[in-house]
Amino acid sequence: MVRQNGSAPPSGCLRFRLPAVPTSAAEARRLTRQQLAEWRTPSDANDSAQLVISELVTNALRHTDSDSVGCEVRLLGSLLRVAVASGGSGPRSVPKNASEDDEGGRGLLLVCSLAQVWGVRPQDAGAGHVVWADLPLSDSDG
């Protein structure tokens, strides 16, 4: 089940750990949606964050042998950082375009299109990596 380290609205950070099971992406979306509603973030940012966390959790489950994934959603001024930690070294290349017939392969492209910036870094403690994306909290195209 979910082991939640809790949300801390004063610092604007939600952290939780999920097991490496197929339903974890949906649970990550639910927990993210719930917290962002509590923080009253704009609906576009909420939708984007749910999509990004879902893609990052799914990639971690598909491409690592981790038995769990750590998730974090954090307010950073005008940005919202979404991060997922798992075992392994993380993505090694720039996302490629999937062909029309490919059933997958579009997750990181979606993350790239929604994020102002994203990246991969080693975990702070132990083996593994963190894939993170910074999303705008408001539309800055105006």
Burial of residue 65 (CB within 10 Å: 0-12, 13-18, 19+) is exposed
pLDDT of residue 83: 97
Question: With a cut of 50, which residues of the chain have pLDDT below it?
Answer: 1-10, 92-95, 98, 102-103, 141-142
pLDDT in tens, 88-101: 655 544 445 545 55
pLDDT of residue 93: 47
pLDDT of residue 94: 47
**What is the model's pTM?**
0.79
- Provide the residue ranges of all domains of the chain, joining segments of one domain with +: 13-136
Contacts of 100 (CB under 8 A, 6+ apart): none
68 Rama class: left (phi>0) / alpha (psi -120 to 50) / beta: beta
What is the third-level CATH fold of 13-136?
A: Heat Shock Protein 90 (3.30.565)
| Rounded Cα distance, 86 and 41, in Å | 27
| Rounded Cα distance, 89 and 73, in Å | 21
Angle, helices 107-114 vs 43-63, to 10°: value is 150
pLDDT in tens, 23-43: 999 999 999 999 999 999 999
